[in-house]
Structures are given as structure tokens and as C-alpha cells.
């Protein structure tokens, strides 16, 4: 939007030195200056409210950002301990680092529920990356489900059995396409 600040209507040659000047010229200049200050205040307030900031978090409220060149960027991760039935909420970030809680016993199943992941907008794709640390728990089966919809798994059918003796990181990726399906992929395990 072009600026509404109007400096062109200010008569820079008024008042004329050495002569009696009409007071209407003063009123016109002051009126133009006052209106321009009001426009400037409005435009600056709009910028302060709706522009990206360097010193605070920004929420673009789902608006598209185009033609970006990201250099040296990172993703904030949600880190938490999980037990059976723990929700992994997409709204807390699409990178989740979870550790199986020490209270989980040998042979148990820990099913983590992907929450707020599906969406009505079919033109958008959501991704969630989950790293599960076994924490040395013996033979725990890590599994995932959705709060609604269908989870289609690749590379694992029921779940992934975590390491029995060492702490292992298991990496998963989930892709939501539209409002009914999530594609799940087990990437692999890494000893840490």
C-alpha cells in the first residue's frame, strides 16, 4: 500500500519574507502537516503491529511466504518424556524429541498419539519429525496412532521394538496430506 503521507501540498515558499501574509496559507500548511502526522502515526502503528520482528517470535498466521532464501536456519524441537498414550501435538512444533519414560516396563507398548496434525486444507502438507530415545528400556514397542484419520505406515507395521541394552535413537517422519490420511515412515535407528 502506498503511503498516504502528503508532503507535496505543503507550501515551502510560505510565508513570504518581508510581506504581510494571508493567514489562510498558515492554516493550509498546518492542516496538511497535521493530516500527514496522523497518516504517519497510522502507518507506523500498522508496521509495528503487522511486520516481522528480529527481537521477538513471529506468527504469520498461515500466510504464504514466497521466494525465501534461508541460510543457517534451524528448527525448534519439543522435548519430552513419554508413556503410553502421550500426545505429540503438532501445534507445539513439527520436530519432536521424545524419551521413553523410565517407568515404562520391559515388553510394554508405548503408543504416541499424533494430535492436531490433520487439516481441512488439502493444498497444504504438514510434516512432523519424531526422534524416540529408548533410554535403555528393555524391549519396549514404540508405536504411533492419530487422534483421527488413517495412519499408513511404511517400513514398520505395528511398531518398532526399541533396543534392550543401549540408548538408541529411532527416527520417524510423518506427512499429513489433507484431512484424513497421514503417511508414516520409519527412517532408522542410531546408537547414541
3-state secondary structure labels for all residues of 37-81: HHHHHHHHHHHHHHCCCCCCCCCCCCCCCCCCCCCCCCCCCEEEE
- Per-residue pLDDT at 9: 86
Residue 125 lies in a domain: yes
Q: Are residues 94 and 139 in the same domain?
A: yes
Is the per-residue pLDDT at 156 higher than 80? no
Q: Number of structural domains, the chain?
A: 2
Please state, in angstroms and rounded to a whole number, the distance separating the CA atoms of residues 41 and 48: 10
Q: Which of 30-44, 73-87, 91-105, 133-147 has the lowest mean pLDDT?
A: 133-147
What are the cell numbers at 14?
510560505
Instruction: Give the model's pLDDT for residue 145.
Output: 87
Q: Is 130 exposed, middle or buried (0-12, 13-18, 19+ CB in 10 A)?
A: buried
- Residue 6 reports pLDDT greater than 90: no
Same domain, 173 and 120: yes
Residue 72 domain-assigned (yes or no):
no
Mean pLDDT for 3-7 is: 84
pLDDT band at 31 (very low <50, low <70, confident <90, very high): very high
Residue 178 lies in a domain: yes
- The answer, yes or no, to whether residue 158 has pLDDT greater than 90, is no
Asked whether residue 90 falls in the same domain as residue 35, the answer is: no
- Shared domain for 114 and 149, answered yes or no, is yes
Give the model's pLDDT for residue 45. Answer: 92
- For the chain, give the mean pLDDT: 85
In this model, does residue 160 exceed pLDDT 80? Answer: yes
Domain assignment present for 65: no
Residues 52-68 pLDDT 10s: 888 888 888 878 888 88
pLDDT at 148: 80
Say if residue 28 is in the same domain as residue 104.
no
Does the pLDDT of residue 164 top 70, yes or no? no
The model's confidence at residue 163, banded by pLDDT at 50, 70 and 90, is: low
**More confident: 156 or 63:** 63
Residue 66 lies in a domain: no
Task: Name the residue range of residue 39's domain.
Answer: 1-57
The whole-number average pLDDT for the span 130-137 is: 80
Pick from 98, 58, 59: nearest CA to 78 = 98
CB 147 within 8 A of CB 180: no
Amino acid at each position: 500500500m502506498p503511503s498516504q503521507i502528503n508532503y507535496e501540498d505543503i507550501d515551502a515558499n510560505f510565508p513570504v519574507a518581508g510581506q504581510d501574509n494571508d493567514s489562510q496559507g498558515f492554516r493550509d500548511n498546518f492542516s496538511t502537516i497535521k493530516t500527514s502526522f496522523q497518516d504517519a502515526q497510522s502507518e507506523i502503528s500498522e508496521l509495528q503491529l503487522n511486520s516481522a520482528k528480529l527481537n521477538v517470535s513471529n506468527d504469520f498466521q498461515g500466510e504464504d511466504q514466497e521466494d525465501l532464501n534461508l541460510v543457517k536456519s534451524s528448527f525448534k524441537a519439543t522435548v519430552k518424556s513419554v508413556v503410553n498414550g502421550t500426545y505429540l501435538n503438532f501445534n507445539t512444533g513439527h520436530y519432536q524429541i521424545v524419551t521413553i519414560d523410565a517407568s515404562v516396563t520391559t515388553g510394554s507398548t508405548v503408543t504416541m498419539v499424533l494430535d492436531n496434525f490433520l487439516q481441512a486444507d488439502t493444498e497444504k502438507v504438514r510434516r512432523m519429525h519424531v526422534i524416540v530415545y529408548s533410554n535403555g528400556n528393555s524391549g519396549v514397542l514404540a508405536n504411533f496412532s492419530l487422534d483421527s484419520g488413517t495412519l499408513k505406515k511404511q517400513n514398520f507395521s505395528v511398531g518398532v521394538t526399541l533396543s534392550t541394552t543401549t540408548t538408541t535413537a529411532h527416527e520417524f517422519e510423518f506427512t499429513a496430506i489433507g484431512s484424513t490420511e497421514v503417511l508414516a515412515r520409519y527412517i532408522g535407528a542410531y546408537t547414541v
